[in-house]
Amino acid sequence: MDIQLIRIDDRLIHGQVAITWAKDNRISRIIVVSDEVAANPIQKTLLSQAAPPGIKAHVITLNKLIDIYMNPMLKDVKVMLLFTNPADVVTIYKNGINFQTVNIGGMKFTDGKQMVTHFVSVNQEDIDAFKYLDQQRIELEIRKVPSDRKQLLMDVLKKGSYI
């Protein structure tokens, strides 16, 4: 599996992801990785049909991604992995899936979360997961679309005294 982009965006597959990021990274497959979404047949079906022409979309569990990561049939497949939260990204990292950068595109505000940018909100579990990834020297960059100026999440968290 040739991972071109790992993105956290709780909106999952939508216009920006399906078109802008996929084209910019020459993606042929979008994989939504979420136990919760994979357990919802309606959401799974809708997301599987949301990719633009020429790009396949799948919704799988964390364990399924870990199982198929080294599958030789996927060796040259350029993929975008989409997650709803950073804890799931930590899980795949701890299970041997290596990457250098995580793009944070959207984490909505809900009870118990604090807004750190106008489109990224975090709670303590999110902060702990991001701190772990940062300690592994993984770049955590905030951008909605590829043309946006890159912001480093850890700088934003430090500046706002969240960590």
* Rounded Cα distance, 44 and 49, in Å: 9
Given this model, what pLDDT does residue 50 score?
86
Question: Residue 104 has which token pair?
Answer: 């944070």
The sheet carrying 78-83 orders its strands as: 56-60, 29-33, 78-83, 2-9, 101-106, 139-142, 151-152
What's the residue count for the chain?
Answer: 163
Which candidate, 48, 115, 45, places its Cα nearest to that of 82?
A: 48
Given this model, what pLDDT does residue 65 score?
98
Is 118 a catalytic site residue?
no
Identity of the amino acid at 16: Q
**pLDDT of the chain along its 163 residues, tens only?**
999 999 999 998 888 777 889 889 999 999 999 999 999 999 999 998 888 888 999 999 999 999 999 999 999 999 999 999 999 999 999 999 999 999 999 999 999 999 999 999 999 999 999 999 999 999 999 999 999 999 999 999 999 888 7
CATH architecture of 2-159: 3-Layer(aba) Sandwich (3.40)
Given this model, what pLDDT does residue 18 score?
76
Instruction: Give CA angle at 72 (36, 146), nearest 5°.
Output: 60
Which of these is catalytic: 2, 14, 98, 125? Answer: 14
